[in-house]
Amino acid sequence: MSVSNSLMVVSDARVIVPFASAIAYFIFKTYEPSSPPVVSLLLGVVPTALAVILRRAFSSLTIALLTVPLAYWSLLVAFTVAYRLSPLHPLARYPGPLLCKVSKGWLAYVAGVRGDTHTYVKNLHKLHGDVVRIGPNELSIVHKDVPSVLSAKGLPRGPYYETRIHEAGVSLDGLRDSALHVVRRRPWARGMNTASMKYYEQLIFNTVGDLTSAFKQRMDTGEVVDLSGWMTFFGFDFMGHMAFTHDYGMLKNGRDAEGLYGLIEGALDDAKWISHLPWAIPYLQQVPGASKNWDEMKRVGEATAQRRFELGSQQQDLFHHLIDEDGNEETKPTLDLVAVDGQLAIIAGADTAATTLSHLWYFLLRNPSCLEHLRKEVDGAFPPGEDSSSDLTKQGLMPYLNACINETLRLYPPVLAGLQRRVNAGTGGKMIGPYFVPEQTQVSLFAYAIHRDERFFSPLPDTFWPDRWLSQKKFVLPTGDVVPSEQVVTDRDVFIPFSQGPMVCAGKNVALAEMRAVTCALLQQFDFTIIDSAYLDTWEDKIFEMFTTKRGTLPVHISPRASP
């Protein structure tokens, strides 16, 4: 080959490779392909083909196969980073960390390795204000206009929920199509109506009885009890009965004999970072053993659903409504799909109650005056000899009990991760308060950050102070200072521990009833003494977000309740 021809080939390579890389970038940016065949074509086949075509520009085919793909990929990354950091990007006006603007991988690291996404985002808002860019195309927003995002006329769910897609279908909490969500929610609505609640109240009564019996046994032997762990036992035992008429026996055995909680925790631990990078799901599915915990959890869920199906319609548990044993729907759901939603009920339902109860006991042990105030209210509502679990309706009307639960949910909502929504293409964008959100942007609402904003909850937004939920003319602060009601802000409109709108948690009322019943029963019958204050001092440091909440331990000595 002549020198002139060689130079021409080299010159062609310097033009063709950047041009091809730019086209690939345009395709990724515009169409966001994630299917393995398309991505393999763009990232594998194209640069390899270019290397073969342009091999004469290099000393050997091997050098071409090393150089061309590397240049192609490097340019693709450079185009991506340059655009995401440029003033031309639709979100350029909004502040945020450089790493967040460049890639969602950084937030995946924060979630997967550090487990403190909730505090990380809260601190970003403290630094930058109402709107923070937490991904190349994602904003976190703290504003009083939160209800408009979650309302029926608000925004659909974003890609964060794609981890809820299973072979049998999509679980209720993963449905991004609002119309489909309405259809799928109908059986859940029947399963949570007034008639169903009557049945669940009896289950709560029975399960609370199992809990108090277990505590009495351990009180007699002087055994140290981990309150946090036993709240988990309660949550799973109740949800087993409520969802599948199945007894996990955790309260009676004093342990998780089936290893269910460990299995669920392992699966969620795997998934906590994947939700931020949903495009990686198809590739991880090809890795042997990558979904081991999820596969095992699926097997357990299907076995539980099959066992309940074979029982027939003996009890009107949640499964009864999800499988449509009454024939209300034109098309019956498949058993596999009901198993998926049943798993959702077990995971979300058990964890919501267990986590909130654990946090509540932490706060009560940390604040003895609050514990005594609540105990006096329980004694007033249920005099000695009267079982507090016999009247859940009365518990729902107890002001300080509900204030303590609300305050716990405010400081530590069950879902610490953001509620992600998306402004879809073709909508023209969305105004959230004074802030314009362009099309194809994810919007995340972190309840942890919203609930601790002093504009919505003050004074003392980071302090456990249940009185803020009470209706009174004057308030006594924990410091002893007295302030008029005008100086106390409690904005219930942005209180979203269970989300809001049409996608609000279906089991909200059941969860609240559980929390009230357990709290009243334990305060009525027992005294608890933490074995070492270090467990209280480090409790909040050991909270890790993994869709659900990973918690530490609360080891206590149990003693009979001192006479009121």
pLDDT at 473 over 70: yes
**Percent of the chain residues past pLDDT 70, beyond the cut:** 97
pTM of the predicted protein model: 0.93
Burial pattern 414-424, b for ≥16 Cβ within 10 A else e, equals: bbbbbbbbbbe
The answer to whether residue 229 is domain-embedded is yes
Tally of structural domains, the chain: 4
Q: Are residues 236 and 284 in the same domain?
A: yes
DSSP-derived secondary structure for 343-403: HHIIIIIHHHHHHHHHHHHHHHHH-HHHHHHHHHHHHHHS-TTS-GGG-HHHHTT-HHHHH
d(CA 538, CA 371): 20
pLDDT at 35 over 90: no
Residue 100 assigned to a binding site = no
Distance of CA 382 to the CA centre of its chain: 35
d(CA 21, CA 28): 11
- Taking only the tens place, the pLDDT of each residue in 94-132 is 999 999 999 999 999 999 999 999 999 999 999 999 999
Burial classification of residue 321, based on how many CB atoms lie within 10 Å of its CB (0-12 exposed, 13-18 middle, 19 or more buried)? buried
Q: Quick one: CA torsion of 108, 114, 116, 120, rounded to 10 degrees?
A: -70
Q: Are residues 520 and 473 in the same domain?
A: no
**Quick check: 30 and 22 in contact, CB under 8 A?**
no
**Quick check: 475 and 483 in contact, CB under 8 A?**
yes
Mapping DSSP to helix (H, G, I), strand (E, B) and coil, where does residue 290 land? coil
Q: What is the pLDDT of residue 230?
A: 97
Look up the domain containing 20 and give its range.
Answer: 3-85
Q: Are residues 391 and 250 in the same domain?
A: yes
Average pLDDT of the residues in 535-561:
93
Instruction: Name the average pLDDT for the chain.
Output: 91
- Taking only the tens place, the pLDDT of each residue in 183-211 is 889 999 999 988 899 999 999 999 999 99
CB atoms within 10 A of CB 14: 13
Q: Are residues 111 and 248 in the same domain?
A: no
In this predicted structure, which of 249-263, 271-285, 492-506, 511-525 has the lowest mean pLDDT?
A: 271-285
The answer to whether residue 256 is domain-embedded is yes
Which of 85, 117, 133 is where one domain is finished? 85
d(CA 449, CA 70): 42
The answer to whether residue 204 is domain-embedded is yes
- Give the confidence band of 564 by pLDDT, cuts at 50, 70, 90: low
Q: Quick one: CA torsion of 490, 496, 497, 502, rounded to 10 degrees?
A: 150
